[in-house]
Amino acid sequence: MKKPWNVGLIGCGFMGRAHSNAYRKVGNFFDLAHQPVLKAACARTRSDVTAFAERWGYESTETDWRRLIDRKDIDAIDICTPNDTHREIALAAAAAGKAILCEKPLARTAAEGADMVAAVERHKVPNIVWYNYRRVPAVTLAKQLIDAGRLGKIFHYRAVFLQDWTIAAELPQGGAGLWRLDKNVAGSGVTGDLLAHCIDTAMWLNGGIDCVTAMTETFVKERKHNLTGKVEPVGIDDACAFLARFGNGSLGTFESTRYARGHKALYTFEINGEHASIRWDLHDLHRLEFFDHKDESIVRGWRSIHVTDREMPYMAHWWVPGLQIGYEHSFVHQVADFLNGLAEGRAAAPTFREAQHTQHVCDAVLQSASSRQWVDVPSD
């Protein structure tokens, strides 16, 4: 008999849907000691949360997240709200002894993140941040190949995350759906939203980043604010490119923008090592490209590995070899790993403390862009 694990989800937007889908599916595909129960959904607007709860099968609703956290029948709080609320909700949830699953980025700044790390560690509550791309099977396979030494010494790490949805100058900032353009709410633009993913994956695959030098640009300087109705300065970075030095001696280049016409979510990375190289592309997420210099020269070349065999990460839980899975499955994998960790009394990555390293890199990137200097990344 599985143990019920009661989830209280706060925020009913895009990520609320992605996480709810994962809670619903995970028990069908993974053998777990716990079964997620969609106990309560919470959002400020009664009609929104009622419709969301009906669609996804939540047993009850709340419109005040503090009431949700006070409830004795909730084991875990899932934070899917805009970034400016993460710290306050996490601190209250930790004090109430709830497990916490927090949407990325952990916080707007490393200072906020530090309070969150301190709270979950003080109250000893299980915690994780939803950096979901780690759990795309092809990305996890890249990690296994690197850890097995197949690339040898790593020289280069190259990542981009390109979008084009904010090019129109008439697009307002702020409010539902557009809070990512409001610096007070989001904390930053592409750095915290998109590069945070690239940084998390990069440090997981290639180790810590020592220092960075960055440039940012805000192409549209003023936008109407949806909440005030006034035209206000835009504070976020629309685009950011930075160079990084990793602790292992390799060089990193990172670029992100919401102004790359034609790209909706092109996240790619390439890693070049002494013996081999690896390349991955979110638009073809079930494939890992691999070049091995040890291959015989007459057949040497980039191979495109279709990551669907049972021996490949997570794939034994899904269909038969050759049939691929997609974006939403990375969230299912995260819940499975988190619950396995819970059952075995160990943390699943990235914990708040691990995700705080990404906050430090983001802060250093933004600091470097404004000072035009190389900035060292704090190590804790």
Q: Which residues bind ligand SOE (CB under 6 A)?
A: 163, 193, 197, 265
What's at 30, amino acid-wise?
F
- The C-alpha atoms of residue 380 and residue 366 are separated, in whole angstroms, by 18
Please tell me the total number of residues recorded for the chain in this structure. 380
Q: How far is the CB of 236 from ligand SOE (least distance, A)?
A: 12
Nearer to ligand SOE by C-beta: 193 or 238? 193
* CB 138, min distance to ligand SOE, A: 16
The residue (of 136 and 278) whose beta carbon lies closer to ligand SOE is 136
C-beta of residue 222 within 8 angstroms of C-beta of residue 233: yes
Q: Which is nearer to ligand SOE, 96 or 185 (CB)?
A: 185
Nearer Cβ to ligand SOE (83/324): 83
State the minimum distance, in angstroms, from the CB of residue 179 to ligand SOE.
11
Cα–Cα separations (whole angstroms), residue 321 to 130, 284, 286, 308, 317: 27, 17, 12, 5, 11
Tell me the DSSP string of 359-372.
HHHHHHHHHHHHHT
What is the DSSP secondary structure assignment for residue 83, as one 8-state letter? G
Residue 244 CB, shortest distance to ligand SOE, in Å, is: 20
Per 3-state DSSP, the chain is made up of helix, strand and coil in percentages (nearest 5) of 40, 25, 35
Nearest residue (CB) to ligand SOE, 290 versus 338 = 338
Q: Which residues pair with 245 in a beta bridge?
A: 211, 251
- Minimal distance in Å, beta carbon 224 to ligand SOE? 20
* DSSP codes, 23-72: HHHHHHHS--SEEEEEEEEE-SSHHHHHHHHHHHT-SEEES-HHHHHH-T
Residue with tokens 């906020």: 112
Q: Which is nearer to ligand SOE, 74 or 186 (CB)?
A: 186
Name the residue whose CB lies closest to ligand SOE: 193
Q: Nearest approach, Cβ of 265 to ligand SOE (angstroms)? A: 5
Tell the smallest beta-carbon distance from residue 20 to ligand SOE (Å). 16
Residue among 119 and 349 whose Cβ is closer to ligand SOE: 349
